[in-house]
Amino acid sequence: MRILVGLLFFLLWISSFSMAESFYEERDFREIFLREFKRLLPNLKGEITLEKFRYEPDHLKIPKGQPYKISWIGTPRVGSNSAVLIFDQGKGLSPVIRLWGYVEVKMSVPILKRDLPPKSLIGEEDLAFEKRELSKLPHDVLLNKENIVGKETRSGLKAGSILRASFLSEPIIIKRNQVIEILAKGKNLLVKAKGVALENGRLNELIKVKNIGSNKVIQGKVTGEGLVEVPF
């Protein structure tokens, strides 16, 4: 008899445990929050973690497997985010859970290996990589070496510095008094002429040039080394 009573209590305990497990809990909401965040930002590389999280209300009992849709408040980004989970229980019942989370991303970021003076061209050999927390970096940080190598420093930078877009500029690829080629483009038409640059020029900058043949001074856009394009 005692064995039967003990077995009954055990089965009741298992049953209550299973029922508790059949509802969404905090860990489930955390998983949904992080999974949906990663789905919306598939190109975000590195170690993505949910540092802080809370939800409300915390008393609703929503069965697991209940279909839901998630609506983000604002654009998901590294740092603080919030979203709303809406569950469809049929019969016009749609419980709502509000989620808040702080997402951190640790990734390898290019930094300088050595001090560089102003007007230095950055080479691949000048770069190293260190893991940094993305939420603590400035908005214009450069994360890919392809956006850094070949650029010129605007001012002096110390070893260990992260690279920001505001720190760098395109190098001068046309120098004042340099003989250049002027390209005049029109519909189904391309005219070339020799010219002289009257100003230094960086890629995509507008500079003044003089047509050697006509001595006419015009303004054009630097499109490559020794190339300036002018309107036809």
CATH number reported for the structural domain that contains residue 209 in this entry: 2.30.30.760
Torsion of CA 219, 220, 222, 227, to 10 degrees: -110
* Paired tokens of 177: 């008094």
* Paired tokens of 164: 């920001």
Q: Would 41 be classed as within a structural domain?
A: yes
Long-range contacts from 202-209, C-beta under 8 angstroms, 24+ separation: 202/169, 202/170, 202/171, 202/172, 202/173, 203/170, 203/173, 204/170, 205/170, 207/174, 209/180, 209/182
Give the separation between CA 222 and CA 209, rounded to whole angstroms: 10
Average pLDDT in the chain: 89
Give the separation between CA 51 and CA 79, rounded to whole angstroms: 9
Mean pLDDT, range 86-112, rounded to an integer? 90
Residue-by-residue DSSP string for 105-144: EEEEEEEESS-B-TTPBP-GGGEEEEEEEGGGS-TTB---
Spatial neighbors of 206 by CB under 8 A, at least 6 apart, are 219, 220, 221, 222
Q: Enter the pTM of the model.
A: 0.64
Q: What share of the chain is helix, strand, coil (3-state, %, to 5)?
A: 20, 45, 35
Mean pLDDT, range 215-225, rounded to an integer? 93
Are residues 200 and 140 located together in one domain of the fold? no
Spatial neighbors of 38 by CB under 8 A, at least 6 apart, are 44, 48
Q: Of 4 and 186, which is predicted with more confidence? A: 186
Which of 151, 169, 187 terminates a domain? The answer is 169
The reported pLDDT for the residue numbered 131 is 94
The reported pLDDT for the residue numbered 232 is 77
pLDDT surpassing 60 at residue 176: yes
Quick one: DSSP state of residue 176?
T
Q: Would 180 be classed as within a structural domain?
A: yes
Mean pLDDT, range 59-86, rounded to an integer? 93
Are residues 81 and 140 located together in one domain of the fold? no
Are residues 73 and 137 located together in one domain of the fold? no
Which CATH number covers residue 147? 3.90.1210.10
- pLDDT class for 187, splitting at 50, 70, 90? confident
pLDDT surpassing 80 at residue 62: yes
The reported pLDDT for the residue numbered 124 is 95
Domain of 61? 24-105
Domains held by the chain: number: 3
Are residues 28 and 92 located together in one domain of the fold? yes
